[in-house]
Structure 1
């Protein structure tokens, strides 16, 4: 994998976030480069959702710096994040079942001509977008309610791309999907990388992470607990970082067995 530039498109430097007495994130560092998929993993309560919401502008950070292409930026609300070029696809998708694919893709950002919604232009752009991403659905005019889970997920990702973002955050995109549908979504993630986008993939599924991620960033109790290159890191090493075994149970056990062997 070749980085387009040494400067990350998005970087978190020493980011912390509190909710009242609860310290949700402490001194978190994260870098996303163009054309790179970074998997964000960790146990429930590790701070993954909070971290994503700080980048998406839902929870402004308390301390630290967010950088966009090397310059410091403020992300205080979702619009700030979107205006920079960050798109977030949440787990609940927020698609409108009764509307067709075209209407869902352009919801809130409809194309207009002389003040009137331009259905023809939207349909054409929708078809082009789905084609470039190799997304196969029966028709862009069928209601979203009639799509499979995998198709719904790829439509939600396609919708995030309507505004030409440079970073896409995917929150558990394969959580409720079967094998074939999961493959469809992972294929799309690879196409996002090929297009030079930076992707943050939140996932509990290590097989998915191994399949498409370049780097795995582990959060534990709201702090960084390692960034690992996927190709050269074992499943066990990542699990150990997630559970915290790296600095307690495993090392203690190794120390015991070494002493016993003396």
Structure 2
């Protein structure tokens, strides 16, 4: 009990419970990958994140992540020397065989990477149905967003931002650029777009959106279990319907990349 000479009682210190992951895969070991790995080290030191293994995928064994000092390195860090598509073909195939082992795995995407998850899903469909055509087709009726552009490979890029965003923006509820509430979210908008397409008589399955959400210390991740769920859904619905169209996207609240994968 405090007496007249006592100072104010201190509130008990709140113990942070870390977010726990299995394997975290960082796409690329260059400047972005180095930034993410250093931030993950800080998150681990602060007790915000924990993982079983942290893998950085890069074709260059002398990438910037490889040059990190021991003090900068988080625990259980491993550099996988491979092309991105090659690595994910093997890694996600193993995860699909043992999904329970990958239920806590996550991927830290690179801002400059191709649509790797859509590439893997399309290759899985080709292997599943070798006598059917699996192709990426343009979005004939793209979603309504402030900025969008069609890429040469069929990827459709969309954004709610018409300005340049900093790479470390965590997309908070209050937008740092507009200084107002962030009233938009691409996963929500894309779900609405898929429903609108079906209502207009343009059948499309999905969308299957892999949401890159902020986890801690400026690092966004998408969950591997969502990619595996999309693979299972494509297998089930593609077997029942021909032709079938699937809308696949990797998106944060503000920016995204879409593919329309068609199986005839």
Q: TM-score, normalised by structure 1?
A: 0.25
Q: Highest Rg: 1 or 2?
A: 2
| Greater relative contact order (Cα < 8 A, sep 6+) | 1
